[in-house]
Amino acid sequence: MIRKIVCGLGAAGASLFAATAAFAQDATAAATAAATEAAATATEAATTAAFTPTAEMVNKGDVAWMLVASALVLLMSVPALALFYGGLVRAKNMLSVLMQVLTIVCVAALVWFAWGYSMAFTSTGTPFPKIVGGLDKAFLAGVDVTTFAATFSNSVYLPEYVFVIFQMTFACITPALIVGAFAERVKFTPLIIFTVLWLTFAYFPIAHMVWYWAGPDFLHAAPDDSGLLWGWGALDFAGGTVVHINAGIAGLIGCLVIGPRVGFKTESMPPHSLVMTMIGASLLWIGWFGFNAGSGLEANAFGALAFINTFVATAAAGVTWAVIEQIVHKKPSLLGAASGVVTGLVAITPAAGFAHPGTAIILGAVATVVCFFFVTTVKNKLKYDDSLDVFGIHAVGGIVGAIGTGFVANPAWGGQGWIDYTAPVAKAGEFDLYGQVMTQIWAVGTTVLWTGVVSTVLFLGLKYTIGLRPSVEAEREGLDITEHGERAYNM
């Protein structure tokens, strides 16, 4: 539920009148003008005075925390995810994974600047404002140091750049997560083309549907100005659907379209460095505090709640995986514990700001049991080659977490319930456990279907045009040399 509203001068008007937003440079004059215009024409919304955020509504504590949180989320991609994935592949493909993650982050950041932010977090200039935003803010048009983005509290705002930056880091890591599903067997150039297209047609619309809303000060005047899933009341605190289910399903489709690695099931393909994987997994955990505790958009008690839930759910998941392995395999492995940690992080993401730490622990443990089953049993039975378990951990863990959010948000079990932002000042609504869980399931289903269709079309399109796979010889030699002309290790 990272939400957003964009305002600025034209802002008050923005949700009411399409044309306003963009150009105000003189904050004072423009704000006055916007307020005047809004007031003059808002007769139908007569009960609510036009609202214009001002610089006084920005809290430096929030700004400081959100900039730090943004940097922490970037840390999750490079170096954390790159090292986590890199350690899990064979030495001949180490460099290729590092390069894929690094480049995807760079490309995604530029795409976010160019049209991603506008597509995800505006609702004007689009024929389907519930599904995807328009291009009003493409290349960050109209975004400057005098514009603001809403938080979850009335009259509390962030500089719009802060919100753009924070959300940019999410757009960077999500496509990078996908590559683990078909690591060791994909050509670099088609992968980067896929990244641009997938962000455009899968990530931005889903982010818009789940997270876009007008903000607490605006929604009561324009209760329909929100994304589709937000409007349904789906809860996703930090990206269970947007990031993990989205990436996990895309990864599964990719690994099915591309096919298994040469030698899959006949050759041994153990990780080349579990030390790297440990370093990556640990850095993921640290970065995830920015991911989850930053998603409250404010430096307050809910940020702290998301932080502790991210801590304990993850700990529970790491312990659970080790215990399961002790029972099933008689030996707890480091990779198992690290996998448990990532599972816990994934599962608590949508619930981080809603659960009580006690139920967060249960959620982490339950998700681990399910993910362990998928990674060790379902994958082997169905024989798909999800190299680094992107589907088994991110999609499955994300689905358990997203549906589990409907349970752990229940105030009767210590959860935070839901807030009715259309009734100023925003206040808690009566929690309907069954209804909320059903809403979560609908949100999960919508995400799976949307990203599944988009990913299938994109992967098949690339496969039958420029091709996705290197030759068998190139794959045998390793992507480091054949795709990038250098080795990870010269010894």
Instruction: Identify residues 384-423 at the interface with another protein (CB under 8 A).
Output: 389
Q: What string of DSSP letters covers 295-363?
A: GG-SSSHHHHHHHHHHHHHHHHHHHHHHHHHHHHTSS--HHHHHHHHHHHHHHHTTTTTTS-HHHHHHH
CB of 394 to another protein, least distance (A): 14
Give 277 or 416: the residue with its C-beta nearer to another protein: 277
For position 383 contacting another protein by CB under 8 A, the verdict is no
C-beta separation of 164 from 170 below 8 A: no
CA distance 236 to 295: 10
Of the candidate residues 157, 291, 311, 372, the single one contacting another protein (CB under 8 A): 372
CB of 269 to another protein, least distance (A): 8
The residue among 125, 128, 149 whose CA lies nearest residue 137 is: 125
Letter string b/e over residues 10-29, b meaning 16 or more CB atoms within 10 A of that residue's CB: bbbbbbbbbebbbebeebee
Cα radius of gyration rounded to whole Å, the chain: 22
CB of 337 to another protein, least distance (A): 11
Bridge-based pairing state of the strands 157-159 and 148-150:
antiparallel
The number of helices, as runs of H, and strands, as runs of E, in the chain is: 20, 4
- How many of the chain's residues bind another protein (CB under 8 A)? 17
Give 303 or 392: the residue with its C-beta nearer to another protein: 392
Site string for another protein, 277-316 (x = CB under 8 A): ----------------------------------------
Contact range with another protein by CB under 8 A, out of 41-49, 66-74, 368-376, 425-433: 368-376
CB of 480 to another protein, least distance (A): 21
CB of 321 to another protein, least distance (A): 10
Q: State the Cα torsion 221-223-225-230 to the nearest 10°.
A: 150
Contact range with another protein by CB under 8 A, out of 9-17, 267-275, 290-298, 480-488: 267-275
For position 93 contacting another protein by CB under 8 A, the verdict is no
Of the candidate residues 270, 327, 434, 490, the single one contacting another protein (CB under 8 A): 270
The residue behind tokens 């990674």 is 375
Instruction: Identify residues 313-352 at the interface with another protein (CB under 8 A).
Output: 329, 331, 333, 335-336, 339
CB of 339 to another protein, least distance (A): 6
Bridge-based pairing state of the strands 157-159 and 419-420:
unpaired
CA distances (Å), 364 to each of 37, 125, 309, 361, in order?
50, 41, 10, 5
Contact range with another protein by CB under 8 A, out of 37-45, 132-140, 150-158, 265-273: 265-273
The residue among 367, 319, 286, 280 whose CA lies nearest residue 89 is: 280
Give 226 or 339: the residue with its C-beta nearer to another protein: 339
Cross-strand pairs, 420: 427
Contact positions vs another protein (CB under 8 A): 268-271, 329, 331, 333, 335-336, 339, 372, 375-377, 379-380, 389
